[in-house]
Structure 1
Amino acid sequence: MTEQLLREWPPGYGGVERVAHELAAVWGGTVWSFDAQGFSTGEVDAMPVTYPRRRLPCTPPLARVRFPLPSPALWQLLCSREPLHGHLPSPGVLLVLALCRLLRPRRRVTAHWHFFLETNVGLSGLINALYQQLALLIVSRLSAVVTTSPLLREELLRCGCRADRVAVLSCCLSEEQESCALALPARLEMSERTLKVLFIGRLDSYKRLDWLMKALSTLSRPWRLVVVGDGPRRGAFETLSRDLFASEADHLVLFCGRLDEKAKLAQLAEADVLVLPSDRSHEAFGIVQLEAMAAGIPALAFQRRRSGMGWVGQLPGLTWPQTPDALPAVLQRLAADSALLRRLGCQARQRYEELFARRVWLNNLRALHRR
């Protein structure tokens, strides 16, 4: 068994929590977390949980940062001989990993590097840069580092991690999610149709739903956008929709809020293309792209340094710059060519089955364990 440590309470609704959840379903070890958002007290789990979970007492948030407080639970985690796998970025998780390495040098302590932080100009960028340098220094001395794509592995090597200690384990879908998505029929080819665009994600600033709506506003062909998810920017995005499309806003853009798995699958069954227009390296993979590809629809995302989200959905039948400026043109192309959409849907499902299917993920996880 392998114990895990992360900031939030799994399975949650974010990529880090979903990765920890799927690993725990296989490893069976205890999952520790700071439960920063208090989900353990009332949140309904998005997926069934079969492994033990424990909460670590932690400090009040300081700019969203939490550190563990001295407690019997923390001492038990530090003294355990079980392998420990921590999910980064999180200063609190990083601290525990370092302490475990110091207290028990022979214990297997590994880290999951989910994404690189933005290190832009300003105070927050400086803090991110300092944390990231410290994190790179510490993880390079752990037993191993796991990341989600070949692009992130190359960046970790460039930053000083040893090649023999950095492994790639892509994200995955649950067994039920995968089987339901793969069971969806292929899209039918039609000469005259409305392009059905799907967005799934937390409605926050870096998701750039505004870029997607502005790109769609330039199309000369009929289209409709379905937005699945909720978040602090939902009101602003709804206002922008009304500003862009006036009386047609309710017809062109549907805000569904957060949906359960069955309702989300129904939206995937109706969609032609999923767009993930994030503009930061915080979006390093995009599990929603796997949901789309397994369902037989292409997923569009931008290519960014220190992010693998553009790599995940790359298809041989669609060459485009994967930049925000190129998004209107590629959407116009897809809206005008239903035959191309059908081919891309077949290629997306094939890429999923070859690279990201659960059987592939399980084989890679076993190989990682043996290594």
Structure 2
Amino acid sequence: MQQDGPPVSQTILQLLREWPPGFGGVERVAHELASVWGGRVYSFDPQRQASHAIDSCPVSYPRQVLPCSPPVARLQLPWPTRILGRLLLSSKHLHGHLPSPGVLLLLVAAKVLRPRRRVTAHWHSFLEQSPGFSGRLFLLYQWLALRLLPLLDGVVTTSPVLEEALIHQGCVSKRVQVLPCCLSNAQEQQLLAIPARPVEPGRPMRVLFIGRLASYKRLDWLLNALAELSQGWELHIVGDGPHRDAFETLSHSLMGHDAPVTFLGQLDEAAKLQQIAAADVLVLPSDRSNEAFGIVQLEAMAAGIPALAFDRRRSGMGWVCQLEGLPWAQTPDELANVLALLMHNPEKRHDLGIEARRRYQALFARHHWLNTLQTWTAQN
């Protein structure tokens, strides 16, 4: 297998809101890019993770926190400091991760201050309007971001679905590069080494959910879908968040306290791998384009288990896990029917697991990601 290494001799700086590697998709993408590029990663670190967090992945690159104002409706802007001045006036390639109004502001400022400098953006997701004043502010930000992107030297996004949406919004097609999310070398090797699930008629189907227990993850939709089925399944939930108590209460009200639903909380990578290795199907029931990819789907597919996700407007999460052997509408009202089909047909689950791993190897394997990254970096 091709080894990671610098694609070209240049150093590329990165800028994002959170502190990488973290547990979110944006942080993980920035972390994997830095593991290859080796450049310094700047972040606003709104949750102050730099002072206390234990990194979930080995970090071999330098990181720098930009002193910032307190967040207002998630808007956070950096204070004028020497660190910021060096970042803006550097001649090195700068790659920023969106959505973030603060990151967008610095990308545009860097380009204005040094017009010949290479400045690019990573478009991770489109935002959908949420209730209240902050929701309207973020739609305004997105409108502005889409009009400023063409001023930059290139845009990277994670799926053909988002690429098409960006071009429709005015980005020049030759400046948009699709670079799907990826797994680390270690993750990929461990997951690909998991043997195919044996066909075991009569064994309960093990359903897995991995994600932050927040409203848009829609664990409630998965619980409602499973409540429609007869016994023959079990659900294991990995993750924590502000809606955990509400989801536990919903589970008890739908199926009783003896239902085969287990809330495991946040797990480390080794424990999460054990859950994936034991699962039969992963479900990512998010309902917004904020969930634009779903790296957990790659983990499931590499491990040889099918993933289920919805086809949402301006989101690639449905595209990631599409399987020819499982044609379905990828809508919430079809979730219970698909789960019932898989529950009653272990042979089908086995075959879909093999297909899922083949799709991972064909589209998302790390050597494909490295080749695409090297080509794009050399062109920029």
TM-score range, shorter chain: over 0.9
Q: Does 1:285 align with 2:290?
A: no
CA shift, 1:21, in A, is 0.1
Contact 2:73 2:134 in 1 (8 A): no
Work out the CA distance in 1 between the residues paired with 2:130 and 2:237.
29
SS of match in other structure, 1:126: helix
Structure 2: which 5+ runs fail to align?
A: 1-10
Calculate the aligned-residue CA RMSD, in Å. 0.9
Q: Does 1:255 align with 2:298?
A: no
Q: Tell me: CA distance 1:300–1:204, structure 2 relative to 1, closer, same or farther (3 Å).
A: same
Work out the CA distance in 2 between the residues paired with 1:314 and 1:220.
26
Could you tell me which residue of structure 2 aligns to residue 297 of structure 1? 305
Could you tell me which residue of structure 2 aligns to residue 362 of structure 1? 370
Work out the CA distance in 2 between the residues paired with 1:230 and 1:293.
23
SS of match in other structure, 2:253: helix
Work out the CA distance in 1 between the residues paired with 2:230 and 2:88.
60
Contact 2:323 2:355 in 1 (8 A): yes
Q: TM (normalized to structure 2)?
A: 0.96
Pick aligned residue for 1:155 from 139, 143, 165: 165
Could you tell me which residue of structure 1 aligns to residue 89 of structure 2? 79
Which letter does structure 2 place at the counterpart of 1:193?
R
Aligned length: 369
Q: Does 1:235 align with 2:253?
A: no
Work out the CA distance in 1 between the residues paired with 2:256 and 2:317.
33
SS of match in other structure, 1:248: coil
Work out the CA distance in 2 between the residues paired with 1:276 and 1:254.
17
Deviates more, 1:214-223 or 1:15-24: 214-223
Contact 1:206 1:280 in 2 (8 A): yes
Q: Does 1:348 align with 2:344?
A: no
Structure 1: which 5+ runs fail to align?
A: none
CA shift, 1:129, in A, is 2.0
Could you tell me which residue of structure 1 aligns to residue 335 of structure 2? 327
Work out the CA distance in 1 between the residues paired with 2:138 and 2:22.
24
Pick aligned residue for 1:222 from 227, 232, 256: 232
Q: Percent identity?
A: 61
Contact 1:78 1:103 in 2 (8 A): yes
CA shift, 1:32, in A, is 0.1
Which letter does structure 2 place at the counterpart of 1:184?
I
Pick aligned residue for 1:39 from 32, 49, 53: 49
Contact 1:284 1:309 in 2 (8 A): yes
Shift >6 Å, 4+ stretches: none
Work out the CA distance in 1 between the residues paired with 2:252 and 2:213.
16
SS of match in other structure, 1:305: coil
Could you tell me which residue of structure 2 aligns to residue 22 of structure 1? 32
Which letter does structure 1 place at the counterpart of 2:217?
K
CA shift, 1:122, in A, is 5.2
Work out the CA distance in 2 between the residues paired with 1:97 and 1:298.
38
SS of match in other structure, 2:177: strand
Contact 1:202 1:230 in 2 (8 A): yes
SS of match in other structure, 2:347: helix
Contact 1:136 1:159 in 2 (8 A): yes
Q: Does 1:94 align with 2:104?
A: yes
Q: Does 1:166 align with 2:166?
A: no
Contact 1:22 1:174 in 2 (8 A): yes
SS of match in other structure, 1:58: coil
Which letter does structure 2 place at the counterpart of 1:189?
V
Contact 1:301 1:310 in 2 (8 A): yes
CA shift, 1:215, in A, is 0.2
SS of match in other structure, 2:257: helix
Which letter does structure 1 place at the counterpart of 2:289?
S
Q: TM (normalized to structure 1)?
A: 0.98
CA shift, 1:221, in A, is 4.2
Which letter does structure 1 place at the counterpart of 2:129?
T
Work out the CA distance in 2 between the residues paired with 1:203 and 1:31.
28
Work out the CA distance in 2 between the residues paired with 1:302 and 1:124.
26
CA shift, 1:121, in A, is 7.0
Q: Does 1:142 align with 2:152?
A: yes
Which letter does structure 2 place at the counterpart of 1:133?
W
Work out the CA distance in 2 between the residues paired with 1:13 and 1:45.
9
Pick aligned residue for 2:186 from 149, 165, 176: 176
SS of match in other structure, 1:140: helix
